Amino acid sequence: MEPVFNEGLMAAKVVLITGAASGIGAAATELLLREGAAVMMADCDVARGMALAEALRGFGGQLAFIEADVTSESAVAGMVARTVELFGVLDAAFNNAGIPGGYSTAVSCTNEEWEQVNNINMRSIWLCMKHQIPEMLKTGGGSIVNMASRAGDSANLNMFTYAATKHGVVGMTRSAALDFATQNVLVNALLPGLTQTPMLDAKLALHICENDYLNAVNIRCDGGFRVPYSFDVGVNSTTRQ
């Protein structure tokens, strides 16, 4: 199938998005389509993913949906292979799938919670990069955006497992960026805070994908969460811990 592109920032680019059926992933799918990309949506929620794909038909570039469990290597390999089969190449990827996990500490975290949150938030991103990067190398490079969080370089109370996995995403991003920089594969991470405006984070993901310079960068989008509150910045500091 020959992809049909609109003119835009991502014209003639093929992008794979995980966790694409809702939230930031859904917003990124819409935005990339409007900017002319061919998008492969991947999600484990088939009903929601298919409904969104149908709603976005005609928004711009070509669109396909695939069911994928990103904790399974065979599923991830198949997801990447299907993207290349449909669209010919893989230019960029937004590895967005993730879960918050339970509200626990290092003591109260269960083995089951640890395994689940690690598999979805961290192992999945390793598996995605493991299979995406070789395809990008075949065509001279590409761009990967990994979804981290403000918890990737800070922490919140009772979010032990989540913070651990998001720190891991930041570390993997930096390491992969260094390993493949000379082969023109750019790897960056997005670190949003509590997201009330998914389209804003999606726009950041878009611009990271289309850039040909940023590499190994962790981009925060959290409303200045780490800014000291010794002065009035228009935010009620009593609500921040």
Is 162 a residue of the active site?
yes
What is the distance between the alpha carbons of residues 154 and 122, in angstroms, rounded to a whole number? 17
- The partner residues of 104 in beta bridges, in order of sequence, read 159
What is the distance between the alpha carbons of residues 9 and 33, in angstroms, rounded to a whole number? 10
What is the distance between the alpha carbons of residues 19 and 41, in angstroms, rounded to a whole number? 8
Identified catalytic residue from 103, 162, 213, 229: 162
At 167 the three-state DSSP class reads: helix
What is the distance between the alpha carbons of residues 60 and 63, in angstroms, rounded to a whole number? 9
Smallest CA-to-CA distance from 73 within 128, 144, 9 is with: 128
Residues designated catalytic: 162
